[in-house]
Chain A
Amino acid sequence: MNEKDMNTLLERDNVLREAVNRREQNQPPMSSDLNARLMQRMDQEDEKPKRRLWLYVVSGVAASMLLLLMFHLWLKTEETPQSVVAKQHPPKKEITVKKPEVVEQKTVAVVEEPKPVQEVVPQKKVVAKVVKKQEVEEEVGVQELPVDPVEEELMAMTQEPAYEPVIEDPYAYVMNQMRDIRSRGERLQQEVAMVAK
C-alpha cells in the first residue's frame, strides 16, 4: 500500500475522524494564565545567569585575593628561617675577630724564650774557635795579630743565625742580633783599649 492509498483509506474512515474530534473537544482547555506564568518563568531564568555571573566574578576575585595573600604569607615564612640563621651567625663572627689577638699574644710569648739560648751558645763557640786559631798560628809561625781572632769571632757570630733551626719571630731575632753585636763591640773596644795599654 502506497502513501496515496493509505491516505484514501484513512480519509474514508469518518467514524474514527468523528471519535477523534469528540475526544479532542472533551479535552479541558489550556489555563488562561499559563502564558503569563511562562513569561514570568522566562524572566526569572534570564536573571539567573546574570546573578550567577556576578557570583562567579565575585568568587573569582575573592579566590585570587586569597591566593595572593597566601603566596605573600608563604614568602614571609620562607624569609624567617633565613633571618633566624642570620641572627645566629654574628656571634661566630665576633669570635673570629677575637682570635687574632690571642695569636699576637702567643707570638710575643714565644719570642721571649729563645734569648738566653742564643746568648749562651756563641760564647762557647767563640772560645773554641779562638783556641783552634791560636793553635794553627803556632804551627805556621805567623806573627800574632791581636785583632784577627776578634774578627773571625765576629764573622762566625754573624754566620751562625743562618743555621738557626727555628726563627719564630724575625724582629725579635734581629733585635737579639743587634744586642749581641753591641755587646761584642763593647768587648772589642775593651780589648783594643787593653792592647793599647
Chain B
Amino acid sequence: MGKENNNLIPDLLGQKRAAQEQLLTLYGQMVFRLVARIVERREDAEEVYQDVFIKAFRSIGTFDESQASLATWLGRIAYNEALNFVRKKTPMWVYIDDHDGDLEDVGDEDATQEDAQTIERMEQAMEQLPPHEQNLLSMYYFDHLSLKEIAYITCSVPTTVGSQLCRIRKKLYQIMQKL
C-alpha cells in the first residue's frame, strides 16, 4: 500500500495518461486477482477489471486519502463491481449461515496439523466456498490486508469481517471432515 508517488493523485485528477498507466502498473495485478477470485470466467474477469479502472479514473475525485489508501479504494471498487457482475449472472449463493451442520464442533487444534495432505484437503474445501468467502480469505492471508481494510473494501465493520473469517475457517474444517 502507498506505492504511488506524490503526484499520482493530482495527475489522475488531471486525467493524465501517464498517471493512469502508472496506476495500472502499480495496482493492476492486485485488482485483477481480487476480481478473478469472485468472477470465475477469465473473459468476464477481464471485462470487470476494465470496468473497475474506467470507473476509478472517472471517479478519482471522490477518493479521500483520510479514509483509505488508493489500493484499498481500488479494492472496494473492484469488489463491488465483481459482486455486481456475479449477482447478475448467478443469483443464488450458499452462505455460511445457510450451511448445514454445527460449526462450533470444529476444534482449533486442527489448525496445528501442518502436513501436505491437510493443506491439500484445505484447498479442496476452499473450492466449495462461495467466491466472496474465498475472496475474504485471500484478502486476509494472501494480500495481508487488515480487518479494517477488508471492512472498508466490503463496506462492513472490522469486527464483522473478523467474525465472518472465523466462521469461514470453521466451515472449511467442517467441509474437510466430510472429504
Which residues of A does B touch, CB under 8 Å? 1-3, 6-7, 9-10, 12-24, 27-31, 34-35, 37-39, 41-42, 45
Q: Could you name 28 residue pairs across A and B whose Cβ atoms are closer than 8 Å? A: A1-B163, A3-B158, A6-B162, A6-B166, A7-B162, A9-B108, A10-B165, A14-B114, A15-B113, A15-B118, A16-B122, A16-B169, A18-B119, A19-B119, A19-B126, A21-B142, A23-B123, A24-B142, A29-B29, A30-B28, A30-B29, A30-B33, A30-B49, A31-B46, A34-B32, A38-B54, A41-B50, A41-B54
In the complex, chain A residues whose CB is within 8 Å of the CB of B122: 15-16, 18-19
B159 at interface by CB-CB < 8 Å: yes
Among B113, B119, B126, B159, residue most surrounded by chain A Cβ atoms (within 10 Å): B119
Give the size of the chain B interface in residues (CB under 8 angstroms): 44
CB distance from A39 to the nearest CB of B (A): 7
The answer to whether A17 touches B108, judged by C-beta atoms less than 8 angstroms apart, is no
Q: How far is the CA of A31 from the CA of B28 in the complex (A)?
A: 11
B138 at interface by CB-CB < 8 Å: yes
Q: How far is the CA of A15 from the CA of B173 in the complex (A)?
A: 11
Smallest CB-CB separation from B50: which chain A residue?
Answer: A38
In the complex, chain B residues whose CB is within 8 Å of the CB of A29: 29
The answer to whether B147 touches A3, judged by C-beta atoms less than 8 angstroms apart, is yes
The answer to whether B28 touches A22, judged by C-beta atoms less than 8 angstroms apart, is no
User: Secondary structure at chain B's binding surface: helix, strand, loop or mixed?
Assistant: helix
Which residues of B does A touch, CB under 8 Å? 17, 20-21, 24-25, 28-29, 32-33, 36-37, 42, 46, 49-50, 53-54, 57, 108, 110-111, 113-114, 118-120, 122-123, 126, 134, 137-138, 140-142, 147, 158-159, 162-163, 165-166, 169, 172
User: Secondary structure at chain A's binding surface: helix, strand, loop or mixed?
Assistant: helix
Q: How far is the CA of A18 from the CA of B113 in the complex (A)?
A: 12
CB distance from A160 to the nearest CB of B (A): 117
The answer to whether A39 touches B17, judged by C-beta atoms less than 8 angstroms apart, is yes
